[in-house]
């Protein structure tokens, strides 16, 4: 019987619950590594699909593996007609993350390998999810505007095809490359809340679609992936604000958080934020929208100073702080910013789900089953006395 370790109300900070070979973070130095490779190198030299292959399989693909994987993704891009038909009947005001979370089990319904327990079958399911999640996000955005979803264009890369299916306009190479780099930077991040949710569901031997659905729900929260949309809300509200130091001070004084800052693991600037900050600056200059980079930098610097005065130098920008202005400049609506995170993170989720299911014997995790300390009503082991409704009094 395992010894009971009490880690109540700590959000499991600092507790290692499993082994992983998928990714590694050095929170003190601000380093993120996927399968041994620094994200900066991957962002510089790889494509998102190459990185997805790396995460799923453990090695960078050869030319043949790369073209085979791309061909499988391309083949899987079209959504099943019943899903497209169903989306047309959903309330137009539905949140895109809810729509995405509801769409994934619908994809499971036509999944030919759902009952297969092999690693190969799970990689196949992962490949189809990587192909179809962007298609579902784009289809919903078109349908909610009263437009028809667009078929995929086989001549376009993963990121370019998403932008085409979303906007109905083929992006230039630079725009497609920038989005591809964003997808690389968001692809995996060890045991974050949504990945843990996926792994927890996978530990019950539920199928990959069930596990990914849980991950989407966890990602939607504003303390996790939902923070990018909250950052954009803040930037829009502060667009004409003259007194940023006053705003930051009153926000902190009231106990509210500055969204996009702080991290459970990084004690320095998130390496993804560094990259995205430069991208926001470059895209701002290119498109005449430098104000978003300038405003976010002003908030960042003011908040850093305020945190430092409280001795909290570890609260620094995270990935969401500068991805928001980047996506905004790219023409992505605010409520699609978190779904774009999901388009990328599905590659990491699926890699962790496969690891959860197929790790070697000595590293294989068990069904997650933590304990809780009961602090509720207690009348002894015989239980409280049951009373009929007429004998109960209002509280």
Residue 69: CB partners within 8 Å, gap ≥ 6? 49, 52, 53, 61, 127
Catalytic residue (choose from 207, 320, 328, 352):
320
Q: Which residues pair with 26 in a beta bridge?
A: 31
Q: Which residue has the tokens 């992983």?
A: 20
Q: CA quadruple 299, 305, 310, 314: dihedral positive or negative?
A: positive
The angle subtended at Cα 206 by Cα 201 and Cα 65, nearest 5°, is 95
Site for ligand ACO in 172-201 (CB under 6 A): 192
Is residue 315 a contact residue for ligand ACO (CB under 6 A)? yes
Is residue 263 annotated as a catalytic residue, yes or no? Answer: yes
Binder among 99, 261, 283, 330 for ligand ACO (CB under 6 A): 261
Catalytic residue (choose from 263, 293, 328, 352):
263
Is residue 284 a contact residue for ligand ACO (CB under 6 A)? no
Is residue 319 a contact residue for ligand ACO (CB under 6 A)? yes
* Least distance (Å) between residue 318 CB and ligand ACO: 4
Q: Which is nearer to ligand ACO, 267 or 282 (CB)?
A: 267
Decide if 315 contacts 307 (C-beta within 8 A): yes
Is residue 264 a contact residue for ligand ACO (CB under 6 A)? yes
Alpha carbon distance 324, 275 (integer Å): 13
> Which single residue brings its beta carbon nearest to ligand ACO?
262
DSSP at 261: B
Beta-carbon count within 10 A of 379 CB = 8
Is residue 262 a contact residue for ligand ACO (CB under 6 A)? yes
Binder among 260, 284, 339, 348 for ligand ACO (CB under 6 A): 260
* Least distance (Å) between residue 336 CB and ligand ACO: 16
Beta-carbon count within 10 A of 286 CB = 13
Site for ligand ACO in 320-349 (CB under 6 A): 320
Alpha carbon distance 305, 313 (integer Å): 8
Is residue 122 a contact residue for ligand ACO (CB under 6 A)? no
Site for ligand ACO in 53-112 (CB under 6 A): none
DSSP at 254: T
Is residue 15 a contact residue for ligand ACO (CB under 6 A)? no
Q: Which is nearer to ligand ACO, 258 or 336 (CB)?
A: 258
Is residue 258 a contact residue for ligand ACO (CB under 6 A)? yes
Alpha-carbon distance values, 354 to 131, 174, 179, 308 (Å): 17, 33, 26, 41
Is residue 170 a contact residue for ligand ACO (CB under 6 A)? no
Q: 33 φ, ψ to 5°? A: -125, 130
Structure tokens that stand for 65 in this block: 């593996």
Number of residues that bind ligand ACO (CB under 6 A): 19
Structure tokens that stand for 149 in this block: 């979803």
- Tell me the per-residue interface mask from 206 to 235 with ligand ACO, x by CB under 6 A, - otherwise: -----------------xxx-x--------
3-class DSSP assignment, residue 26: strand
**What residues line the site for ligand ACO (CB under 6 A)?**
13, 192, 223-225, 227, 257-264, 312, 315, 318-320
* Residues labelled catalytic: 263, 320
């Amino acid at each position: 019987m395992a010894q009971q370790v009490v880690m109540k109300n700590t959000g499991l900070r600092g507790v290692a619950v499993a082994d992983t070979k998928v990714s590694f973070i050095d929170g003190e130095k601000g380093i993120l590594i996927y399968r041994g490779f620094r994200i900066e190198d991957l962002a510089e030299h790889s494509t998102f699909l190459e990185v997805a292959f790396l995460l799923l399989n453990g090695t960078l693909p050869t030319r043949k593996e790369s073209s085979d994987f791309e061909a499988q993704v391309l083949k899987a891009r079209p959504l099943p007609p019943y899903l497209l038909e169903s989306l047309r009947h959903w309330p137009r005001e539905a949140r895109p993350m809810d729509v995405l979370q509801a769409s994934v089990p619908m994809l499971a319904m036509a999944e030919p390998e759902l009952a297969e327990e092999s690693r190969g079958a799970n990689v196949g399911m992962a490949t189809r999810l990587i192909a179809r999640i962007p298609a579902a996000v784009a289809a919903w955005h078109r349908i909610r505007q009263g437009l028809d979803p667009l078929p995929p264009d086989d001549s376009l890369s993963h990121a370019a095809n998403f932008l085409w299916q979303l906007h109905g306009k083929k992006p230039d190479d630079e725009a497609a490359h920038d989005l591809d780099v964003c997808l690389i930077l968001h692809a995996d991040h060890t045991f974050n809340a949504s990945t843990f949710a996926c792994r927890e569901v996978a530990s019950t031997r539920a199928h990959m679609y069930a596990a990914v659905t849980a991950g989407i729900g966890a990602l939607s929260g504003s303390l996790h992936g939902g923070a990018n949309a909250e950052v954009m809300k803040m930037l829009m509200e502060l667009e004409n604000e003259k007194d940023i130091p006053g705003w930051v001070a009153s926000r902190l004084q009231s106990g509210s958080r500055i969204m996009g800052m702080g991290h459970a693991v990084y004690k320095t600037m998130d390496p993804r934020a560094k990259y995205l900050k430069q991208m926001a600056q470059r895209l701002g200059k290119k498109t005449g929208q430098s104000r978003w980079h300038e405003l976010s930098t002003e908030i960042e610097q003011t908040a850093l100073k305020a945190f430092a005065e409280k001795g909290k130098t570890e609260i620094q920008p995270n990935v969401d702080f500068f991805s928001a202005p980047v996506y905004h400049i790219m023409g992505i609506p605010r409520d699609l910013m978190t779904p774009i995170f999901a388009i990328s993170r599905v590659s990491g989720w699926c890699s962790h789900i496969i690891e959860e299911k197929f790790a070697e014997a000595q590293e294989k995790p068990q069904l997650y089953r933590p304990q809780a300390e009961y602090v509720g009503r207690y009348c002894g082991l015989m239980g409280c006395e049951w009373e009929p409704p007429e004998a109960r009094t209002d509280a």
